[in-house]
Amino acid sequence: NELYGKFVVIKTANYKLPAKSLYENLFDGYQKELRPVNNYTKPTKVALKFWLKQILKVNARDQIVKVHCWLELYWNDEFLKWNPSLFNGIKQIHVPAGRIWEPDILVYNNANMNTANNELETNAVIKHNGNIILFKSLITDVTCNMNLIDFPFDQQVCYLTFSSWSMDSGDIELEATNNTDNLAMYISNAEWSLADFAIKTYRKYYECCTQPFIDVTYFMVIKRSPSYYLFSLVIPSAVITVVTMVGFFTPHSTSGENTEKVSLGVTALLSMAIIMMMVSDNVPTTSEVIPLIGKYYIGLIFLIFLAAITTTLTLTYQMRGNSGIPINRFIRSLYEKIACSSFLSWIFSVHFSKFNYDNDSITLEKVSFLSSKSFKRRKIRQEWQQATRIIDRLVMIFYVLITIIFVVYVLRKSHDDIYLNDQLMDGLKADI
């Protein structure tokens, strides 16, 4: 055992000595500030491999998407080569990334330039032929121009653009690897689903340089799940709408007035305004479009406002009855016709009492009652109540129909899925 232990120690020492010698030999006089080529007119080929890990957060108001991804960079360093036979067969070593030259590949549409706290850079793997592999784990905030016209049924096309910050195509020739497993380690997001993914390489000219800059852009289509917004915004508003509609069925108070309906309308307006504020928190302040759900709430608010105005008008008509102002002939004939129809009288809750006066059966006491002013006022007030009840029912029917149309429009509106193609991707890049 003692001899075996000494043998292991000697073999390990013999192996470490070549590694140390190799390290000292490679970095003796090595300058990481210079691009590692013997012919400086020759560009360095850099291959980029990308894995999308997760969409962490989508901030529609600030139009920023937080993404977690893994990167692999491949290139060849002509100054870091050796013969494995001269160093005990060592074919690769791991060194800190800060010891070697590396391409300054950055996310061009990064919304947060402080990458020190969001980027994990591991050791670089150097092979004996000069090929280098560098692994990175990156959490980045990227800008994304969002179209919220179909919110909360919207789909967004976002992308990550990787390119060298200071070296054009004459220095770095960037390309994407041919792997098709970019989504192999993707973790789904609870609110957003990944609908499509594509890669494309571009060459773009800038005023600073005669050579174009090469960038690799990863496009993704993300689709929002509307469940949360349906339960927190659409359904509550539908409940408020139903309560408001039921309010129009509410019978008059004992005094025959509709003042409680005005309070109901004002309360419904305030509730809808609060929900509308919740919607505005998810929409950019500079948005040029009104989201679908915004149109829905504006429509409901307008209908409730119209209903409240109509109820106020019916109160005005009721005041005419209390003041003893006779009803005009057109309105009287209208509700008389409605009262004569059993179906319409049930719909409008109108019950018309027709008085027959028989001179032979009328006593002096009845004549005195019928000719009294109180009876006339009572009759006029009843006629105005019947008329305002008809107006209430007409407004209610209109309100119900329009509300149903709005709800069906929001929930059943067709939303075509977006698929990435060259025209769409080129159009997005042209807007930069």
Q: Do residues 278 and 165 share a domain?
A: no
Q: Do residues 232 and 114 share a domain?
A: no
Q: Do residues 160 and 241 share a domain?
A: no
Which pairing describes strands 124-127 and 155-164: parallel, antiparallel, or unpaired?
unpaired
Residue span of the structural domain in which 354 resides: 228-412
Q: Are 350 and 390 in contact (CB under 8 A)?
A: yes
Q: Which residues make Cβ contacts (< 8 Å) with residue 165, sequence separation at least 6? A: 104, 106
Q: Do residues 125 and 208 share a domain?
A: yes
Compute CA distances 222 → 217, 367, 410, 419, whole Å.
16, 81, 20, 10
Beta strands of 327-367 (E only): which ranges? none
Most confident among 11-15, 234-238, 364-368 (mean pLDDT): 234-238
Compute CA distances 349 → 320, 385, 390, whole Å.
21, 11, 8
Q: What percent of the chain has pLDDT over 90?
A: 41
pLDDT at 253: 53
83 domain-assigned: yes
Collapse the DSSP code of 426 into the 3-class scheme (helix H, G, I; strand E, B; otherwise coil) and give the result: helix
Domain boundary among 225, 260, 281: 225
State pTM to two decimals. Answer: 0.78
Q: What is the pLDDT of residues 264-315, one digit of tens each?
A: 777 887 888 888 787 777 676 656 778 888 888 888 888 778 777 777 777 7
Confidence of residue 411 (pLDDT cuts 50, 70, 90): confident
* DSSP state string for 101-138: ----EEETTBS----TTTEEE-PEEEETTSEEEEEEEE
Q: Are 283 and 148 in contact (CB under 8 A)?
A: yes
pLDDT at 404: 80
Confidence of residue 124 (pLDDT cuts 50, 70, 90): very high
pLDDT at 35: 95
Q: Do residues 258 and 354 share a domain?
A: yes
339-343 CB contacts, 8 Å cutoff, 24+ apart: 339/386
Q: Do residues 97 and 237 share a domain?
A: no
63: Cα separation from own chain's centroid: 9
Q: Do residues 117 and 218 share a domain?
A: yes
Domain boundary among 208, 225, 242: 225
Domain boundary among 191, 208, 225: 225
pLDDT at 257 over 60: no
Element (H, E) at 45: strand 44-59
